[in-house]
Homo-oligomer: A and B are copies of this chain.
Amino acid sequence: MLKAPSEPGIQFSLGELADQLGAELIGDRGSVVSRIGSLDSATPDTISFVSNPRYLAQLATSSAGCVIVSAAHRDAAVSRGATLVASDPYLCFARLTQLWATRRRAAIPSSIHASAVIHPGARLGHHVSVGPLAVIEDAAVIGDGAVIGAQCFVGEGASVGAQTRLAPQVVLGSRCHIGARGVVHGGVVIGSDGFGFAPSGGRWEKIEQLGGVSIGDDVEIGANTCIDRGALDDTVIEDGVKLDNLVQIAHNVHVGAHTAMAGTAAVAGSARIGAHCTLAGGAGVSGHVTLADHVHISARTVATHSILRPGVYTGLFPIDDNASWEKNAATLRQLHRLRDRIRALEKNKEIGTS
């Protein structure tokens, strides 16, 4: 198998990291790390972290050059070498990855590739990057510092907020909008028609989808995810929403702020999902259903009715060896009759004991 080449040149001193992460350093400010890694795979040029106490055992034996820990594990960490103490090590690790990525991206100056096809009626902000063979149509607006990846399509009158990055081959349809600091991955289609048809004598008559898509700030959208435009009004994705790959958002759905959906989740038309909800992988929400804030739908579970109380909700057939499943599944199809038989037994018992 091919090996990934090691990244040339990204390195940070521990002092620099302590300053930028707002963490306390116990160790040499001048020591340098050039890699982020797990405790068990760490080398002396690696910075690692402990967020889950389960991995504490690996701490003593890790070869990491520096480890990020919480105050509770400070002594254990210091006894083995350089340590960064942070109030939330996992969050600190997240910000560390951001420092890495920012430096990686800094190597690429913003530029408009000559092969991009940009309509003269489009308006581009300052420091915008447009990749090779991207298309930007009339009246589109691209905010400052935004990145339009190679071969992207930005439709007529669409807008991309400041600092938002579109990976290669994203489609942002006409009159669709995404706010600032967003990330949109490859193959995403925003603004395809909602699935609306009126039945007419055994055929389907198209309801043209005249609305758009309105996406807030700090939204991330995974690869090949689809967000349909609304029938009359907009489909709305509020600030801070995170959608994984291959997610389906139908027309006129409203997704509340900071809600997250894992891969292959699907939301049917006009559903209204609250803020701070999660949909696990492959979870679904039926059409016109409402979920309150802080509702969590488990993997492959479908919210077929509205859920107005926060909590975790599940409906997944448990996995079993195939032979056991066959027996249980067959019995499941007689379950209602089994209940009747239990009732009959209970009634008989009552009669018997009366």
Interface residues of A (CB under 8 A from B): 1-5, 7, 36-38, 41, 88, 90-91, 93-95, 97-98, 100-101, 113, 115, 117, 131-133, 135, 137, 150-151, 153, 155, 157, 159, 161, 167-169, 171, 173, 175, 177-179, 183, 185-187, 189, 192-193, 195-200, 202-212, 214-218, 220, 222-224, 226, 228, 231-234, 236, 238-240, 242, 244-246, 248, 250, 258, 260, 262-264, 266, 268, 276, 281-282, 284, 286, 297-305, 311-322, 324-336, 338-339, 341-342, 345-346, 348-349, 352
Q: Looking at the complex, which one of B153, B262, B322 makes contact with A311 (CB distance below 8 Å)?
A: B322
Given the known inter-chain contacts A168-B153, A192-B186, A331-B335, please indicate yes or no for A101 contacting B322, CB distance below 8 A: no
Q: Is the CB of A193 within 8 A of B183?
A: yes
Q: Is the CB of B318 within 8 A of A315?
A: yes
Per the bound structure, the CA–CA distance linking A74 and B221 in Å amounts to 46
Across-interface contacts of A345 in B (CB, < 8 A): 342, 345-346, 349
Q: List 9 additional A-B contacts (Cβ < 8 Å) besides A101-B208, A224-B224, A264-B264.
A: A135-B151, A171-B223, A304-B318, A315-B316, A315-B318, A331-B336, A342-B342, A345-B345, A345-B346
Across-interface contacts of A301 in B (CB, < 8 A): 317, 319
Per the bound structure, the CA–CA distance linking A195 and B300 in Å amounts to 18
Q: Is the CB of A94 within 8 A of B342?
A: no
Q: Is the CB of A5 within 8 A of B175?
A: yes
Q: Looking at the complex, which one of B91, B203, B233 makes contact with A198 (CB distance below 8 Å)?
A: B91
Q: Is the CB of A192 within 8 A of B245?
A: yes
Q: Looking at the complex, which one of B161, B189, B198, B352 makes contact with A94 (CB distance below 8 Å)?
A: B198
Copies in the complex: 3
Top 6 A-B residue pairs of the complex, sorted by shortest distance between their CB atoms? A192-B223, A101-B208, A97-B208, A315-B319, A94-B198, A327-B336
Q: Looking at the complex, which one of B113, B245, B299, B312 makes contact with A195 (CB distance below 8 Å)?
A: B245
CB distance from A46 to the nearest CB of B (A): 9
Across-interface contacts of A313 in B (CB, < 8 A): 319-322, 325
Q: Is the CB of B101 within 8 A of A210?
A: yes
Closest to A294 in B: B202
Given the known inter-chain contacts A150-B153, A226-B222, A322-B314, please indicate yes or no for A37 contacting B335, CB distance below 8 A: no
Per the bound structure, the CA–CA distance linking A133 and B118 in Å amounts to 12
Per the bound structure, the CA–CA distance linking A348 and B348 in Å amounts to 12
Closest to A168 in B: B153
Closest to A328 in B: B335
